[in-house]
Structure 1
Amino acid sequence: MKMKNRVTEIFNIKVPFIQGPMNALTNPEFIAAVSEAGGLGIMGPNAGNAKVSRSPIETTERMRVEIKKIKQLTDKPFASTIMVSDDISYVTYIVDMLIEEQVPVVLINGLLDKALFDKLKSHQIKIIFRPLTPTIQNAQAAEQMGADVFVATGFDEGGTVPERVIGTFSIVPMIADAINIPVIAAGGIGDVRGVRAAIQLGAEGVYVGSLLIPTIENPAAENVKQYIVDSNAEDLILFRTLPAYYRSLPGKLAKELEAMDQEGASREEIAQHMGAGRNMRLGMVKGDTENGYVSVGTGISPIKEIRSVQAVIDDLMQDFVEYNSKNP
């Protein structure tokens, strides 16, 4: 198997491991740890902050502070998410700040806007494009607009699950056959076996979130980390909500949401009871797994202990590390 690929060359990283931003479940120390381990750490718009701000200016300036902290912790490449909002000022302020701070890579979630792509490309910023639901159409559109890599997310993922029930190992080859830029596999990657399978199916790297939550450096609550270690995919609860589906490990709120779904409540009603990011923060950062929820993907089964970020990346990327050691 040829281990050298375009992803490491595009982002100037050691191994093709992309960290999911996971919003409040990241902070500068965690992001820097990923980049120092050879992958690409990505900052979410609320990384490192205890409360979410609804002000585009305040959000942007908070992000600037966190970016400066990351730069103090690592000189390796990292990325930032561009928040997609109905308020276009969020995008405008954040993009201008990322250009000013010379952030080398951005993650765009679902916004196909040629002017935005052109602006970033004119400042030599690399673009990762990740739609909520990957399709051949949005993959080809992203490629035409200048995306450097495309994240193909399967139904196996944690967080906001795609609208179409297509697993990771079905979506990856479909997208890889449709575009020429590198494809990154996301959803359900739990160990090196998943990485090897994704590569064989046409991916050139992996995008990982849930596997990094039970790590020493992650800001998730310690009881949540242990809860993930002690659980497997059979334990997960799946329910409808806006915009599509969510899954969670069991807890009082998660069971209520499941019951509402089974009793025919609307997606809007379920979403209102779910409490969106507020209750995810309550569950995963504060550790209240009963009144909040713990959203993870189906790849948690192989997780057997709380490890360092370096250990997780070395495990998943062992083929690439071996290749690089033989081909310095």
Structure 2
Amino acid sequence: METDKNYSTNILKAYQRYLKLERNYSTNTVDAYIHDIKSLLDYCLEISKNVLQLQLEDLQNFAATIHEKGIGPTSQARILSGVRSFYRYLLLDGYIDADPSELLESPNLGKHLPEVLSTPEVDKLENVIDLTTKEGQRNKAIIEVLFSCGLRVSELVNLKLSQLFLDEGFVQVIGKGRKERLVPISQRAIKELNLWFYDRKQLDIKTGEEDYVFLNRRGSHLTRTMILIMIKKEAEKAGIKKTISPHTMRHSFATALLQGGADLRAIQAMLGHEDIGTTEIYTHIDITTLRQEILEHHPRNIRSKEK
């Protein structure tokens, strides 16, 4: 069994190199994949089987065990997605002749529509920011860039001055898997950035941090947690009751584009989605909004309410 354990460890290390070097995944993503596969390897030890010997029935039993542990459906789906990815790698690299995970099903999560903010709500969020503080203009610029460009928060905290092409109206974004894309930036966002750059010049910037767009008062680039806390605090001040996060701005960006008539493929390119299916969730949001508009403003519904 010790030999099997060592062999599985070597396979895991090879898979880790594959994710990092060939798939170009970030350290956090690689760690998440490896963590989930380790739970599968622990299960292999429990049933005294090598990971290469598992069949579909074994994987279904593994899925049942993680369910019994009280792990939520979303986390179950993530783990099983990682298992399928692992077995695709094993097949690709010649460890196995057939993929036992091909018919492995994830729990049905149903449709979850993310919260979005309307443009007036984004304006309300920005208007409550205290611009007399050292972070005020920076925070306003952050919210406007998130809403105007649809960036992930990880893309925003790593955004560099050298990636801004403001005269041309574009931002170069380094997304998941180190993939680059060009995203248009609005004149409103450019204006807020330029106002922030005036305050930024007053900072004592730490060595190695000079190229980051957004810095804290100590001259270091921001973290995702800092931005999450800031947005939640400003939303509370603005009286916005929705549960929002930096990602809400990205959802709001995509929904506003769709409502404005943008093509779904164009939205996919600007968001950096590999799969158009990921982008299609915004069509569901738009339909939900449209239904609400009809219920509130169609003359038949208005008359019904009056009665």
Q: Which TM-score applies when normalising by structure 1?
A: 0.24
Q: Which TM-score applies when normalising by structure 2?
A: 0.25
Higher Rg of the two aligned structures: 2
Q: Which has the higher helix share?
A: 2
